[in-house]
Amino acid sequence: MKWDKMTIEEICRDITSGGTPSRKVPEYFGGSIPWVKTTEIKYSRIYDTSEHITELGLQKSSAKLIPANSVLIAMYGDGGTAGRCSINKVPVTTNQACCNLIIDKEVADYEFVYYYMQNQYATLVSLKSGGGQQNLNGKTIREMEIILPPLPLQHRIASILSGYDDLIENNLRRIKLLEDAAMCEYKMLIDKDGKEYEIGELVKWVKGKKPKDISQEQLDGYLPYLVFDTIEGNAVTYAHTEKVPFSSIHDVLMCMDGARSGVVFRGMEGVLGSTFATLKLEESALTEYVYQFLHTNLEYIVQGNVGAAIPHANKEYINSMKISVPADEELEEYNLKVRPLVILTANLKAQNAQLRKARDILLPKLMSGEIDVEVDISTSTIIKIPSSETMAAEEEAMYSKSPKAGIANR
């Protein structure tokens, strides 16, 4: 079956960048219209944004309303930002650093184009130009070629890949509900009296470092290398025998350097990247409680960050934070309620990692025509997704090993 070569411009009804309303006019921001920045473009479906503009801001700037189901490409941005793409599932506006492809549905399937551009990330990076910070530009993207199969085949390929992302999104919604439930339990517990400690009395800090070698052959069975890409779902495994700092599921993981210094995570096992540290608790029964304490006090932690150009979390400042630890029996009751939520969350995150891996294996093969999509392909042919019964059994087994509370009375 013949696949046609076309330019990006030929498959779009319109290609446009966005704009930024003047921040000197408060009335331009805080409205109901989502406004996308390049940092929010990260191979995802966009339903909402961190900032919104008003109708007045839209009218008084070069921002444009981009219809739902367009493909947004980041043109500017340090690190791996420029070249990434997303799909907006609701109408949005964007800043000027985004190139927005409004796809002609009579020619191309917008999801097929999205996955094609995702697979072409290396090509997009090679097209960047400029001085200090190399960027893409609209003309380069317009002239970029795309290989398109007939439209029905595009729909079929897109449906296979989007099936994985549908499962991932569903898991993310479940994770959010579980995390909200755990937070509610924490808020009920902090209203009770407890014994006061400094964080430094309860934790031992272990700073990560960059291993001398990360294997380019990513083999199953190796531990994740914990950097932000891993945490955001793009797992990198570590296949070197060098002794390196390690995080267990009973540690609290904190970002120490960069824009997200002070942000904490939990229940993640792997080799620590150089921008992270684990806060190993002397009593693992305190893991969830201390995690929630630090998570809810992020604003206070950030106030203590040091460094001008690059912020760094201040260990001494965090160690001096006062925390009220509940009595043993109250902490044990809290863990009885929260530990199953945390374990199920970890299982869902692990399932998402499997789904992403399977999708990413399929992506280049589908885009090259290597796989005959007339053959039935489903997620079950690539990976075995655990059933809810299996996950419940795993939760039961893991919870039976959970340590009891035993800190407040020592």
The domain locations on the chain are 4-148, 193-326
3-class DSSP assignment, residue 289: helix
In angstroms, the CA 279 to CA 254 distance is 7
Distance of alpha carbon 342 from alpha carbon 128, whole angstroms: 42
CATH class of 4-148: alpha beta
CA angle (394, 398, 399) in 5-degree steps: 115
Q: How high is the pLDDT of residue 404? A: 47
12, 124, 260, 18 alpha-carbon torsion, rounded to 10°: -30
Dihedral sign (CA 68, 49, 170, 218):
positive
Nearest to 114 by CA among 77, 87, 93: 87
Establish whether domains 4-148 and 193-326 are of one fold. Answer: yes
pLDDT tens by residue, 190-242: 878 889 999 999 999 988 877 665 554 444 455 666 666 655 554 555 555 55
pLDDT in tens, 65-91: 999 999 999 998 766 788 999 999 999
Spell out, as residue ranges, where the chain has pLDDT lower than 50: 216-220, 234, 379-380, 382-383, 388, 395, 398-406, 408-410
316-319 long-range contacts, Cβ below 8 Å, gap at least 24?
A: 318/199, 318/200, 318/262, 318/294, 319/198, 319/199, 319/200, 319/203
Separation of alpha carbons 224 and 323, rounded Å: 31
Instruction: Measure CA 203 to chain center.
Output: 27
Into which CATH architecture does domain 193-326 fall? Alpha-Beta Complex (3.90)
- Is the whole-model pTM more than 0.75? yes
Going by their DSSP bridges, the two strands 246-247 and 270-272 should be labelled as antiparallel
What's the Cα-to-Cα distance from 277 to each of 243, 246, 265, 311, rounded to whole Å?
A: 16, 9, 11, 15
